[in-house]
Structure 1
Amino acid sequence: MTSPLEGRRAVVTGAGRNVGEAVAERFAREGARVAVVDIDPQAAARVAKALNEAHPGSAVPVTADVSSADDVSRLVETAWAQLGHVDTLVNCVAITDRPATVLDLADDVWRKVLDVTLTSAFLTTKYLAKKMVAEGQGGVVLHIGSTSGQFARKNALAYPTAKAALYALVRSLAVQLGPHGIRVNTVSPNKVGSPVGTDAEPENRERRNLVGRACTPEDIAGAVAFMAGAEAGFITGTDLLVDGGALISTGD
Protein backbone atom coordinates (compact mmCIF):
# COMPACT_ATOMS: atom_id res chain seq x y z
CA MET A 1 0.00 0.00 0.00
CA THR A 2 1.47 3.35 -1.06
CA SER A 3 2.13 5.86 1.71
CA PRO A 4 0.51 9.31 1.43
CA LEU A 5 4.05 10.70 1.77
CA GLU A 6 5.54 8.64 -1.05
CA GLY A 7 7.36 10.92 -3.46
CA ARG A 8 6.97 14.01 -1.32
CA ARG A 9 9.83 16.49 -0.93
CA ALA A 10 10.02 18.12 2.47
CA VAL A 11 12.07 20.67 4.34
CA VAL A 12 12.23 19.81 8.06
CA THR A 13 13.89 22.41 10.28
CA GLY A 14 15.29 21.62 13.70
CA ALA A 15 15.79 18.10 12.35
CA GLY A 16 19.00 17.43 14.24
CA ARG A 17 17.21 15.96 17.26
CA ASN A 18 13.97 15.33 19.13
CA VAL A 19 10.73 16.10 17.20
CA GLY A 20 12.46 17.34 14.05
CA GLU A 21 14.58 14.20 13.82
CA ALA A 22 11.54 11.97 14.32
CA VAL A 23 9.59 13.87 11.64
CA ALA A 24 12.47 13.57 9.16
CA GLU A 25 12.74 9.84 9.89
CA ARG A 26 8.99 9.31 9.46
CA PHE A 27 8.97 11.12 6.11
CA ALA A 28 12.02 9.20 4.83
CA ARG A 29 10.58 5.88 5.99
CA GLU A 30 7.36 6.58 4.10
CA GLY A 31 9.11 7.38 0.84
CA ALA A 32 9.67 11.13 0.97
CA ARG A 33 12.93 12.94 0.33
CA VAL A 34 13.93 15.33 3.10
CA ALA A 35 16.16 18.35 3.58
CA VAL A 36 17.43 17.78 7.12
CA VAL A 37 17.93 21.34 8.38
CA ASP A 38 19.68 22.28 11.61
CA ILE A 39 21.85 25.13 12.88
CA ASP A 40 24.32 22.45 14.04
CA PRO A 41 26.05 21.03 10.95
CA GLN A 42 27.14 17.89 12.77
CA ALA A 43 23.59 17.14 13.90
CA ALA A 44 22.19 17.67 10.40
CA ALA A 45 24.90 15.45 8.91
CA ARG A 46 24.37 12.71 11.51
CA VAL A 47 20.62 12.50 10.94
CA ALA A 48 20.91 12.66 7.15
CA LYS A 49 23.56 9.91 7.20
CA ALA A 50 21.35 7.64 9.30
CA LEU A 51 18.37 8.24 7.03
CA ASN A 52 20.36 7.55 3.88
CA GLU A 53 21.72 4.34 5.36
CA ALA A 54 18.20 3.15 6.15
CA HIS A 55 16.51 4.67 3.09
CA PRO A 56 19.10 5.35 0.37
CA GLY A 57 18.86 8.75 -1.29
CA SER A 58 16.22 10.03 1.12
CA ALA A 59 18.01 12.90 2.85
CA VAL A 60 20.30 15.86 2.33
CA PRO A 61 21.80 17.80 5.25
CA VAL A 62 21.50 21.59 5.26
CA THR A 63 22.99 23.93 7.85
CA ALA A 64 20.94 27.08 8.46
CA ASP A 65 19.89 29.54 11.13
CA VAL A 66 16.20 29.87 10.33
CA SER A 67 15.89 33.11 12.28
CA SER A 68 18.09 34.70 9.57
CA ALA A 69 16.46 35.80 6.31
CA ASP A 70 19.72 35.30 4.42
CA ASP A 71 20.11 31.76 5.74
CA VAL A 72 16.49 30.87 4.96
CA SER A 73 16.80 32.22 1.43
CA ARG A 74 19.91 30.10 0.92
CA LEU A 75 18.20 27.10 2.51
CA VAL A 76 15.31 27.33 0.07
CA GLU A 77 17.59 27.54 -2.96
CA THR A 78 19.63 24.59 -1.66
CA ALA A 79 16.53 22.48 -1.01
CA TRP A 80 15.13 23.14 -4.48
CA ALA A 81 18.49 22.37 -6.09
CA GLN A 82 18.90 19.12 -4.14
CA LEU A 83 15.32 17.86 -4.04
CA GLY A 84 13.49 19.57 -6.89
CA HIS A 85 10.06 21.06 -6.15
CA VAL A 86 9.51 21.16 -2.39
CA ASP A 87 5.88 20.56 -1.43
CA THR A 88 6.11 20.39 2.38
CA LEU A 89 7.61 22.47 5.17
CA VAL A 90 7.74 21.25 8.77
CA ASN A 91 9.26 23.86 11.10
CA CYS A 92 10.31 22.39 14.46
CA VAL A 93 12.68 25.11 15.68
CA ALA A 94 12.35 26.73 19.11
CA ILE A 95 14.37 27.92 22.08
CA THR A 96 13.14 28.88 25.52
CA ASP A 97 13.79 31.45 28.23
CA ARG A 98 13.01 29.01 31.05
CA PRO A 99 13.48 29.70 33.93
CA ALA A 100 12.66 33.41 33.76
CA THR A 101 10.02 35.95 34.71
CA VAL A 102 9.37 39.49 33.57
CA LEU A 103 11.47 40.69 36.52
CA ASP A 104 14.69 39.02 35.40
CA LEU A 105 14.36 38.21 31.70
CA ALA A 106 17.15 39.93 29.76
CA ASP A 107 16.08 42.09 26.84
CA ASP A 108 18.36 40.30 24.38
CA VAL A 109 17.06 36.88 25.47
CA TRP A 110 13.47 38.06 24.87
CA ARG A 111 14.39 39.11 21.33
CA LYS A 112 16.38 35.94 20.64
CA VAL A 113 13.58 33.61 21.76
CA LEU A 114 11.03 35.44 19.62
CA ASP A 115 13.38 35.45 16.63
CA VAL A 116 14.10 31.73 16.80
CA THR A 117 10.68 30.51 17.88
CA LEU A 118 8.35 32.89 15.99
CA THR A 119 10.24 34.80 13.30
CA SER A 120 11.59 31.49 11.98
CA ALA A 121 8.01 30.46 11.21
CA PHE A 122 7.44 33.68 9.25
CA LEU A 123 10.71 33.44 7.33
CA THR A 124 10.56 29.76 6.42
CA THR A 125 6.94 30.08 5.31
CA LYS A 126 7.61 33.26 3.34
CA TYR A 127 10.56 32.02 1.33
CA LEU A 128 9.25 28.51 0.69
CA ALA A 129 5.75 29.74 -0.11
CA LYS A 130 7.08 32.22 -2.68
CA LYS A 131 8.68 29.32 -4.55
CA MET A 132 5.57 27.16 -4.17
CA VAL A 133 3.33 29.91 -5.49
CA ALA A 134 5.65 30.61 -8.41
CA GLU A 135 5.49 26.96 -9.43
CA GLY A 136 1.72 26.74 -8.93
CA GLN A 137 1.62 23.25 -7.42
CA GLY A 138 0.42 24.11 -3.92
CA GLY A 139 1.87 22.64 -0.78
CA VAL A 140 1.66 22.04 2.97
CA VAL A 141 3.17 24.10 5.79
CA LEU A 142 3.25 22.81 9.35
CA HIS A 143 4.69 24.50 12.43
CA ILE A 144 5.16 22.84 15.79
CA GLY A 145 3.18 24.69 18.43
CA SER A 146 3.06 24.02 22.16
CA THR A 147 0.58 23.89 24.99
CA SER A 148 2.81 26.61 26.50
CA GLY A 149 1.17 28.97 24.03
CA GLN A 150 -2.26 28.16 25.42
CA PHE A 151 -1.85 28.83 29.13
CA ALA A 152 0.14 31.05 31.47
CA ARG A 153 3.63 29.99 32.56
CA LYS A 154 5.24 30.78 35.92
CA ASN A 155 8.78 30.08 34.74
CA ALA A 156 8.93 31.43 31.16
CA LEU A 157 7.67 34.49 29.31
CA ALA A 158 9.14 34.85 25.81
CA TYR A 159 8.59 31.19 24.84
CA PRO A 160 4.85 31.02 25.64
CA THR A 161 4.39 34.44 24.06
CA ALA A 162 6.07 33.25 20.85
CA LYS A 163 4.00 30.06 20.74
CA ALA A 164 0.76 31.96 21.37
CA ALA A 165 1.60 34.35 18.54
CA LEU A 166 2.36 31.39 16.28
CA TYR A 167 -1.32 30.41 16.27
CA ALA A 168 -2.37 33.87 15.07
CA LEU A 169 0.38 33.83 12.46
CA VAL A 170 -0.72 30.45 11.13
CA ARG A 171 -4.36 31.50 10.79
CA SER A 172 -3.39 34.53 8.72
CA LEU A 173 -0.94 32.49 6.66
CA ALA A 174 -3.70 30.00 5.92
CA VAL A 175 -5.99 32.78 4.72
CA GLN A 176 -3.33 34.38 2.54
CA LEU A 177 -1.90 31.17 1.05
CA GLY A 178 -5.14 29.20 0.70
CA PRO A 179 -5.92 30.67 -2.74
CA HIS A 180 -2.57 29.25 -3.90
CA GLY A 181 -3.40 25.73 -2.76
CA ILE A 182 -1.15 25.86 0.31
CA ARG A 183 -2.50 24.55 3.61
CA VAL A 184 -1.00 25.91 6.86
CA ASN A 185 -1.50 24.35 10.31
CA THR A 186 0.16 23.70 13.64
CA VAL A 187 0.67 20.49 15.62
CA SER A 188 0.99 21.10 19.35
CA PRO A 189 2.63 18.73 21.84
CA ASN A 190 3.01 18.89 25.59
CA LYS A 191 6.40 18.02 27.14
CA VAL A 192 7.56 15.89 24.25
CA GLY A 193 10.95 14.20 24.40
CA SER A 194 13.75 16.32 25.83
CA PRO A 195 12.86 19.80 27.13
CA VAL A 196 13.35 22.64 24.64
CA GLY A 197 17.03 23.46 24.29
CA THR A 198 18.30 20.19 25.80
CA ASP A 199 19.43 16.84 24.42
CA ALA A 200 18.35 14.56 27.25
CA GLU A 201 15.06 14.04 29.05
CA PRO A 202 15.18 14.10 32.88
CA GLU A 203 14.05 10.81 34.40
CA ASN A 204 11.93 12.64 36.98
CA ARG A 205 10.24 15.06 34.56
CA GLU A 206 6.78 15.85 35.91
CA ARG A 207 3.82 15.31 33.60
CA ARG A 208 0.08 15.54 33.99
CA ASN A 209 -2.06 14.12 31.22
CA LEU A 210 -4.91 11.69 30.76
CA VAL A 211 -3.00 9.04 28.83
CA GLY A 212 -0.58 8.33 31.63
CA ARG A 213 2.68 8.24 29.74
CA ALA A 214 5.24 10.56 28.20
CA CYS A 215 4.64 12.07 24.78
CA THR A 216 7.31 10.82 22.38
CA PRO A 217 8.76 12.53 19.31
CA GLU A 218 7.24 9.69 17.30
CA ASP A 219 3.77 10.65 18.56
CA ILE A 220 4.25 14.09 17.05
CA ALA A 221 5.81 12.71 13.87
CA GLY A 222 2.71 10.57 13.35
CA ALA A 223 0.44 13.58 13.75
CA VAL A 224 2.59 15.60 11.36
CA ALA A 225 2.51 12.79 8.79
CA PHE A 226 -1.30 12.80 8.96
CA MET A 227 -1.57 16.58 8.66
CA ALA A 228 0.80 16.59 5.70
CA GLY A 229 -1.10 13.88 3.85
CA ALA A 230 -4.13 13.87 1.59
CA GLU A 231 -6.47 12.65 4.34
CA ALA A 232 -6.01 16.06 5.98
CA GLY A 233 -6.57 17.86 2.69
CA PHE A 234 -9.58 19.78 4.03
CA ILE A 235 -7.78 20.99 7.17
CA THR A 236 -6.13 24.40 7.25
CA GLY A 237 -5.68 27.34 9.59
CA THR A 238 -6.04 25.25 12.72
CA ASP A 239 -4.16 23.33 15.39
CA LEU A 240 -3.94 19.61 16.04
CA LEU A 241 -3.45 19.25 19.78
CA VAL A 242 -1.38 16.16 20.63
CA ASP A 243 -1.04 16.56 24.39
CA GLY A 244 -2.54 13.42 25.91
CA GLY A 245 -5.29 15.55 27.39
CA ALA A 246 -2.84 17.70 29.36
CA LEU A 247 -4.74 20.93 28.77
CA ILE A 248 -7.98 19.54 30.20
CA SER A 249 -6.39 17.39 32.89
CA THR A 250 -6.92 18.35 36.51
CA GLY A 251 -3.98 16.23 37.57
CA ASP A 252 -4.44 14.42 40.87
Structure 2
Amino acid sequence: MTPDTSSLAVRPSCGSYSLAGWPATGVAGGGRAAVWAASGAGSERDVAVAIVTGGNSGIGRATAVALANSGFDVGITWHRDEDRAQSAAREIEQAGGRPAIRHLDLHAVHEGAQVLDELCEELGAINVLVNNAGHGTSKPFLEMTLGEWQGVIDVNLTASFLTSQAAARRMVEQQSGGAIINVTSVHEHIPLSGAAPYTASKHGLGGLTKSLALELGSYGIRVNSVAPGQIATRMTGQEDESPSESQVPLGRAGDAREVGALIAWLASDQASYVTGVSYVVDGGLLLIAGEHQ
Protein backbone atom coordinates (compact mmCIF):
# COMPACT_ATOMS: atom_id res chain seq x y z
CA MET A 1 0.00 0.00 0.00
CA THR A 2 1.32 3.42 -0.91
CA PRO A 3 2.04 5.43 2.26
CA ASP A 4 0.15 8.55 3.22
CA THR A 5 2.12 11.38 1.64
CA SER A 6 0.01 14.23 2.96
CA SER A 7 2.72 15.27 5.42
CA LEU A 8 6.28 14.43 4.50
CA ALA A 9 8.89 15.57 7.02
CA VAL A 10 12.40 14.92 5.78
CA ARG A 11 14.03 16.00 9.04
CA PRO A 12 12.61 17.34 12.31
CA SER A 13 12.85 20.92 11.06
CA CYS A 14 10.95 20.12 7.86
CA GLY A 15 7.27 20.74 7.24
CA SER A 16 4.91 19.24 4.67
CA TYR A 17 4.87 17.92 1.14
CA SER A 18 1.32 17.85 -0.17
CA LEU A 19 0.52 15.33 -2.89
CA ALA A 20 -2.88 16.87 -3.52
CA GLY A 21 -1.73 20.43 -3.92
CA TRP A 22 1.24 20.33 -6.28
CA PRO A 23 3.55 21.88 -5.20
CA ALA A 24 3.99 21.71 -1.43
CA THR A 25 2.72 24.46 0.83
CA GLY A 26 6.19 25.07 2.21
CA VAL A 27 8.24 24.01 5.19
CA ALA A 28 8.59 25.32 8.67
CA GLY A 29 11.68 26.57 10.43
CA GLY A 30 13.01 28.49 7.45
CA GLY A 31 12.19 25.74 4.99
CA ARG A 32 15.43 23.76 5.28
CA ALA A 33 15.97 20.12 6.12
CA ALA A 34 18.67 19.54 8.70
CA VAL A 35 21.11 16.64 8.71
CA TRP A 36 21.15 14.94 12.09
CA ALA A 37 24.45 13.12 12.55
CA ALA A 38 24.26 9.63 14.03
CA SER A 39 27.18 10.47 16.31
CA GLY A 40 25.34 13.43 17.80
CA ALA A 41 21.59 12.91 17.62
CA GLY A 42 19.65 16.11 17.89
CA SER A 43 22.48 18.34 16.74
CA GLU A 44 21.79 20.20 13.52
CA ARG A 45 24.89 19.93 11.38
CA ASP A 46 24.05 21.06 7.88
CA VAL A 47 21.36 21.20 5.23
CA ALA A 48 20.33 17.82 3.85
CA VAL A 49 21.53 17.06 0.33
CA ALA A 50 20.03 14.77 -2.31
CA ILE A 51 21.48 13.83 -5.68
CA VAL A 52 19.22 12.63 -8.50
CA THR A 53 20.68 11.18 -11.69
CA GLY A 54 18.70 12.07 -14.80
CA GLY A 55 17.06 14.86 -12.84
CA ASN A 56 16.39 17.19 -15.75
CA SER A 57 13.14 15.58 -16.94
CA GLY A 58 10.46 13.00 -16.26
CA ILE A 59 10.43 11.15 -12.97
CA GLY A 60 13.88 12.48 -12.09
CA ARG A 61 12.80 16.08 -12.37
CA ALA A 62 9.57 15.48 -10.45
CA THR A 63 11.62 13.78 -7.74
CA ALA A 64 14.17 16.60 -7.56
CA VAL A 65 11.42 19.18 -7.10
CA ALA A 66 9.63 17.03 -4.51
CA LEU A 67 12.86 16.76 -2.53
CA ALA A 68 13.47 20.50 -2.79
CA ASN A 69 9.93 21.11 -1.54
CA SER A 70 10.78 18.81 1.38
CA GLY A 71 13.80 20.92 2.33
CA PHE A 72 16.71 19.37 0.45
CA ASP A 73 19.43 20.99 -1.58
CA VAL A 74 19.43 18.95 -4.78
CA GLY A 75 22.13 18.02 -7.27
CA ILE A 76 20.98 16.68 -10.63
CA THR A 77 22.68 15.20 -13.66
CA TRP A 78 21.67 15.51 -17.29
CA HIS A 79 22.69 13.74 -20.47
CA ARG A 80 21.21 15.35 -23.60
CA ASP A 81 19.27 18.50 -22.74
CA GLU A 82 21.16 21.21 -20.86
CA ASP A 83 18.30 23.70 -21.27
CA ARG A 84 16.01 21.29 -19.44
CA ALA A 85 18.62 20.90 -16.74
CA GLN A 86 18.87 24.66 -16.26
CA SER A 87 15.07 24.87 -16.14
CA ALA A 88 14.96 22.09 -13.54
CA ALA A 89 17.59 23.92 -11.48
CA ARG A 90 15.42 27.04 -11.47
CA GLU A 91 12.43 24.97 -10.36
CA ILE A 92 14.47 23.46 -7.53
CA GLU A 93 15.49 26.95 -6.44
CA GLN A 94 11.89 28.17 -6.57
CA ALA A 95 10.96 25.25 -4.32
CA GLY A 96 13.50 26.43 -1.74
CA GLY A 97 16.44 24.18 -2.54
CA ARG A 98 19.96 25.04 -3.64
CA PRO A 99 20.55 23.37 -7.02
CA ALA A 100 23.70 22.02 -8.62
CA ILE A 101 23.91 20.44 -12.06
CA ARG A 102 26.45 18.32 -13.93
CA HIS A 103 26.55 16.64 -17.31
CA LEU A 104 26.76 12.85 -17.08
CA ASP A 105 26.77 10.12 -19.71
CA LEU A 106 26.42 6.86 -17.81
CA HIS A 107 27.53 4.87 -20.83
CA ALA A 108 30.95 5.90 -19.53
CA VAL A 109 30.20 4.06 -16.31
CA HIS A 110 33.14 5.33 -14.26
CA GLU A 111 32.07 8.94 -14.76
CA GLY A 112 29.09 8.42 -12.46
CA ALA A 113 31.11 8.22 -9.26
CA GLN A 114 33.30 11.13 -10.34
CA VAL A 115 30.33 13.39 -11.07
CA LEU A 116 28.67 12.36 -7.82
CA ASP A 117 31.82 13.38 -5.95
CA GLU A 118 31.80 16.76 -7.71
CA LEU A 119 28.18 17.39 -6.71
CA CYS A 120 28.90 16.32 -3.13
CA GLU A 121 31.80 18.75 -2.93
CA GLU A 122 29.69 21.60 -4.29
CA LEU A 123 26.71 20.94 -2.02
CA GLY A 124 28.75 19.91 1.01
CA ALA A 125 27.46 16.39 1.72
CA ILE A 126 25.18 13.63 0.51
CA ASN A 127 22.27 12.19 2.45
CA VAL A 128 20.08 10.78 -0.32
CA LEU A 129 20.97 9.28 -3.69
CA VAL A 130 18.29 8.59 -6.29
CA ASN A 131 19.55 6.41 -9.14
CA ASN A 132 17.00 7.43 -11.74
CA ALA A 133 18.84 7.72 -15.07
CA GLY A 134 18.11 4.80 -17.34
CA HIS A 135 18.43 3.46 -20.87
CA GLY A 136 16.54 0.88 -22.89
CA THR A 137 16.43 -0.68 -26.31
CA SER A 138 13.80 -2.68 -28.15
CA LYS A 139 15.27 -5.45 -30.26
CA PRO A 140 14.70 -9.19 -30.58
CA PHE A 141 17.08 -11.30 -28.52
CA LEU A 142 18.27 -13.25 -31.57
CA GLU A 143 19.33 -10.04 -33.32
CA MET A 144 20.95 -8.25 -30.40
CA THR A 145 24.67 -7.50 -30.35
CA LEU A 146 26.90 -7.68 -27.30
CA GLY A 147 27.42 -3.92 -27.52
CA GLU A 148 23.68 -3.26 -27.40
CA TRP A 149 23.30 -5.60 -24.44
CA GLN A 150 26.24 -4.10 -22.58
CA GLY A 151 25.12 -0.52 -23.18
CA VAL A 152 21.85 -1.09 -21.32
CA ILE A 153 23.46 -3.09 -18.51
CA ASP A 154 26.14 -0.42 -18.06
CA VAL A 155 23.69 2.46 -17.66
CA ASN A 156 20.95 0.73 -15.68
CA LEU A 157 22.97 -1.55 -13.42
CA THR A 158 26.74 -1.06 -13.42
CA ALA A 159 26.55 2.73 -13.17
CA SER A 160 24.05 2.44 -10.30
CA PHE A 161 26.45 0.09 -8.50
CA LEU A 162 29.26 2.63 -8.83
CA THR A 163 27.24 5.71 -7.82
CA SER A 164 25.72 3.81 -4.89
CA GLN A 165 29.16 2.72 -3.74
CA ALA A 166 30.53 6.27 -3.95
CA ALA A 167 27.50 7.68 -2.12
CA ALA A 168 27.54 5.00 0.58
CA ARG A 169 31.23 5.54 1.28
CA ARG A 170 30.59 9.22 1.85
CA MET A 171 27.55 8.50 4.05
CA VAL A 172 29.64 6.14 6.18
CA GLU A 173 32.37 8.76 6.49
CA GLN A 174 29.80 11.39 7.46
CA GLN A 175 28.36 9.04 10.14
CA SER A 176 24.93 10.44 9.37
CA GLY A 177 23.18 7.48 7.78
CA GLY A 178 21.29 8.10 4.58
CA ALA A 179 19.05 6.65 1.90
CA ILE A 180 19.62 5.21 -1.56
CA ILE A 181 16.59 4.87 -3.81
CA ASN A 182 16.82 3.01 -7.10
CA VAL A 183 14.22 3.76 -9.76
CA THR A 184 13.62 0.47 -11.52
CA SER A 185 10.40 -0.37 -13.38
CA VAL A 186 7.55 -2.84 -13.18
CA HIS A 187 9.96 -4.89 -15.27
CA GLU A 188 11.97 -5.38 -12.10
CA HIS A 189 9.17 -7.87 -11.42
CA ILE A 190 7.84 -9.00 -14.81
CA PRO A 191 9.65 -9.48 -18.14
CA LEU A 192 9.23 -7.28 -21.20
CA SER A 193 9.34 -9.12 -24.50
CA GLY A 194 11.86 -7.72 -26.95
CA ALA A 195 13.82 -5.96 -24.22
CA ALA A 196 16.04 -8.63 -22.68
CA PRO A 197 18.83 -6.33 -21.43
CA TYR A 198 16.34 -3.84 -19.99
CA THR A 199 14.49 -6.59 -18.12
CA ALA A 200 17.74 -8.14 -16.91
CA SER A 201 19.11 -4.79 -15.76
CA LYS A 202 15.97 -3.91 -13.81
CA HIS A 203 15.82 -7.35 -12.20
CA GLY A 204 19.49 -6.92 -11.36
CA LEU A 205 18.96 -3.48 -9.86
CA GLY A 206 16.18 -4.88 -7.70
CA GLY A 207 18.55 -7.58 -6.45
CA LEU A 208 21.30 -5.04 -5.85
CA THR A 209 18.85 -2.98 -3.81
CA LYS A 210 18.18 -5.88 -1.45
CA SER A 211 21.86 -6.80 -1.15
CA LEU A 212 22.84 -3.24 -0.29
CA ALA A 213 20.01 -3.02 2.25
CA LEU A 214 21.57 -5.99 4.06
CA GLU A 215 25.14 -4.68 3.91
CA LEU A 216 24.53 -1.02 4.68
CA GLY A 217 21.85 -1.25 7.35
CA SER A 218 24.38 -1.28 10.18
CA TYR A 219 25.56 2.16 9.01
CA GLY A 220 22.04 3.58 9.14
CA ILE A 221 21.77 3.61 5.34
CA ARG A 222 18.42 2.48 3.94
CA VAL A 223 18.16 1.15 0.38
CA ASN A 224 14.87 0.76 -1.47
CA SER A 225 13.59 0.66 -5.03
CA VAL A 226 10.61 2.26 -6.74
CA ALA A 227 9.13 0.43 -9.72
CA PRO A 228 6.99 2.71 -11.91
CA GLY A 229 4.54 1.43 -14.48
CA GLN A 230 2.87 3.48 -17.20
CA ILE A 231 3.72 7.07 -16.25
CA ALA A 232 2.35 9.97 -18.28
CA THR A 233 4.27 13.21 -18.50
CA ARG A 234 1.93 15.52 -20.42
CA MET A 235 0.82 17.34 -17.27
CA THR A 236 4.40 17.91 -16.18
CA GLY A 237 5.52 19.13 -19.61
CA GLN A 238 8.18 16.50 -20.15
CA GLU A 239 9.38 14.54 -23.14
CA ASP A 240 7.20 11.45 -23.27
CA GLU A 241 3.64 11.71 -24.50
CA SER A 242 0.77 10.59 -22.32
CA PRO A 243 -0.83 7.35 -23.56
CA SER A 244 -4.23 8.01 -25.10
CA GLU A 245 -5.74 5.12 -23.17
CA SER A 246 -4.66 3.20 -20.11
CA GLN A 247 -5.70 -0.40 -19.55
CA VAL A 248 -4.67 -0.50 -15.89
CA PRO A 249 -7.30 -0.96 -13.16
CA LEU A 250 -7.15 2.70 -12.13
CA GLY A 251 -7.99 3.62 -15.73
CA ARG A 252 -5.27 6.20 -16.27
CA ALA A 253 -1.56 6.59 -16.59
CA GLY A 254 0.37 7.82 -13.58
CA ASP A 255 1.83 11.28 -13.10
CA ALA A 256 5.58 11.63 -12.60
CA ARG A 257 4.89 13.68 -9.48
CA GLU A 258 3.11 10.71 -7.92
CA VAL A 259 6.32 8.74 -8.25
CA GLY A 260 8.35 11.69 -6.97
CA ALA A 261 6.13 11.96 -3.90
CA LEU A 262 6.79 8.34 -2.99
CA ILE A 263 10.53 8.78 -3.45
CA ALA A 264 10.44 11.88 -1.24
CA TRP A 265 8.69 9.82 1.42
CA LEU A 266 11.32 7.09 1.19
CA ALA A 267 13.98 9.79 1.59
CA SER A 268 12.32 11.08 4.74
CA ASP A 269 12.55 10.07 8.39
CA GLN A 270 8.94 8.89 8.14
CA ALA A 271 10.40 5.89 6.27
CA SER A 272 13.20 5.38 8.81
CA TYR A 273 12.29 1.70 9.36
CA VAL A 274 11.88 0.84 5.68
CA THR A 275 14.69 -0.85 3.78
CA GLY A 276 15.10 -3.54 1.13
CA VAL A 277 11.62 -3.00 -0.30
CA SER A 278 10.41 -2.48 -3.86
CA TYR A 279 7.45 -0.09 -4.14
CA VAL A 280 5.38 -0.61 -7.28
CA VAL A 281 3.65 2.52 -8.64
CA ASP A 282 1.63 1.20 -11.56
CA GLY A 283 -2.09 1.79 -11.06
CA GLY A 284 -2.56 -1.97 -10.67
CA LEU A 285 -0.75 -3.00 -13.86
CA LEU A 286 1.00 -5.98 -12.27
CA LEU A 287 -2.36 -7.33 -11.13
CA ILE A 288 -3.49 -7.80 -14.72
CA ALA A 289 -0.13 -8.44 -16.40
CA GLY A 290 -0.88 -12.13 -16.82
CA GLU A 291 -4.01 -11.35 -18.82
CA HIS A 292 -1.94 -9.69 -21.54
CA GLN A 293 0.84 -12.26 -21.88
Same fold (TM over 0.5): yes
Give yes or no for contact 1:67–1:123 (8 Å, CA) kept in 2.
no
Determine which of 133, 137, 146 is the counterpart of 2:172. Answer: 133
1:9-48 CA-to-partner distances (Å, cap 9, x unmatched) read 1000111110000001111122211001122344322311
SS of residue paired to 1:93: coil
TM-align CA RMSD:
2.1
Q: How many residues align?
A: 246
Give yes or no for contact 1:208–1:249 (8 Å, CA) kept in 2.
no
Amino acid at match of 1:123: L
1:45 aligns with 2:86: yes
SS of residue paired to 2:246: coil
How far the C-alpha of 1:118 sits from its partner, in A, is: 1.0
What TM-score do you get using the length of structure 2 for normalisation? 0.78
- Mapped to 2, the partners of 1:215 and 1:186 lie a distance apart of 17
Q: Provide closer, same or farther for how the CA distance between residues 56 and 174 of structure 1 changes in structure 2, counting only shifts above 3 A.
A: closer
Gaps of 5+ in 2: 1-6, 15-32, 34-47
Determine which of 48, 51, 54 is the counterpart of 1:11. Answer: 51
Give yes or no for contact 1:19–1:193 (8 Å, CA) kept in 2.
no
SS of residue paired to 1:186: strand
Determine which of 165, 168, 171 is the counterpart of 2:204. Answer: 165
- Mapped to 2, the partners of 1:151 and 1:233 lie a distance apart of 28
Q: Provide closer, same or farther for how the CA distance between residues 152 and 76 of structure 1 changes in structure 2, counting only shifts above 3 A.
A: closer
Aligned residue in 1 for 2:225: 186
SS of residue paired to 1:183: strand
Aligned residue in 1 for 2:101: 61
Amino acid at match of 1:213: R
- Mapped to 1, the partners of 2:219 and 2:107 lie a distance apart of 25
Gaps of 5+ in 1: none
Aligned residue in 1 for 2:162: 123
Give yes or no for contact 1:132–1:138 (8 Å, CA) kept in 2.
yes
Q: Provide closer, same or farther for how the CA distance between residues 84 and 174 of structure 1 changes in structure 2, counting only shifts above 3 A.
A: same
- Mapped to 2, the partners of 1:136 and 1:30 lie a distance apart of 22
- Mapped to 2, the partners of 1:83 and 1:120 lie a distance apart of 21
- Mapped to 1, the partners of 2:209 and 2:199 lie a distance apart of 16
Q: What are the equivalent positions in structure 2 for 1:26-105 lying under 5 Å apart?
A: 26-40=66-80, 41-52=82-93, 54-55=94-95, 58-98=98-138, 100-105=139-144
Q: Provide closer, same or farther for how the CA distance between residues 110 and 70 of structure 1 changes in structure 2, counting only shifts above 3 A.
A: closer
Aligned residue in 1 for 2:38: none
- Rg comparison, structure with higher value: 2
What TM-score do you get using the length of structure 1 for normalisation? 0.90
Q: Provide closer, same or farther for how the CA distance between residues 216 and 202 of structure 1 changes in structure 2, counting only shifts above 3 A.
A: closer
- Mapped to 2, the partners of 1:59 and 1:82 lie a distance apart of 10
* Percent identity for Structure 1 against Structure 2: 27
Q: Provide closer, same or farther for how the CA distance between residues 209 and 70 of structure 1 changes in structure 2, counting only shifts above 3 A.
A: same
SS of residue paired to 2:105: coil
Structure 1 residue ranges, 4+ long, deviating more than 6 angstroms after superposition: none
- Mapped to 2, the partners of 1:225 and 1:180 lie a distance apart of 21
SS of residue paired to 1:35: strand
Q: Provide closer, same or farther for how the CA distance between residues 57 and 88 of structure 1 changes in structure 2, counting only shifts above 3 A.
A: closer
- Mapped to 1, the partners of 2:9 and 2:197 lie a distance apart of 38
